[in-house]
Amino acid sequence: MDIKCCKEHVELAIDVIVDEYEVPPVVELLTGKDELSTICEYCNITATYKVANA
Ligand SMILES: [Zn+2]
Domain with 40, as residue range(s), is: 2-52
In angstroms, the CA 35 to CA 15 distance is: 22
Number of domains in the chain: 1
Centre of ligand 1 to C-alpha 54, Å, is: 21
Centre of ligand 1 to C-alpha 4, Å, is: 9
Whether the CA torsion 6, 44, 40, 16 is positive or negative: it is positive
Task: Tell me the pLDDT tens digit for each residue of 5-45.
Answer: 999 999 999 999 999 999 999 999 999 998 889 999 999 99
Report which of residues 7 and 54 the model is more confident about: 7
In angstroms, the CA 18 to CA 5 distance is: 15
Q: What is the pLDDT of residue 12?
A: 98
Centre of ligand 1 to C-alpha 22, Å, is: 22
Centre of ligand 1 to C-alpha 13, Å, is: 9
Centre of ligand 1 to C-alpha 27, Å, is: 15
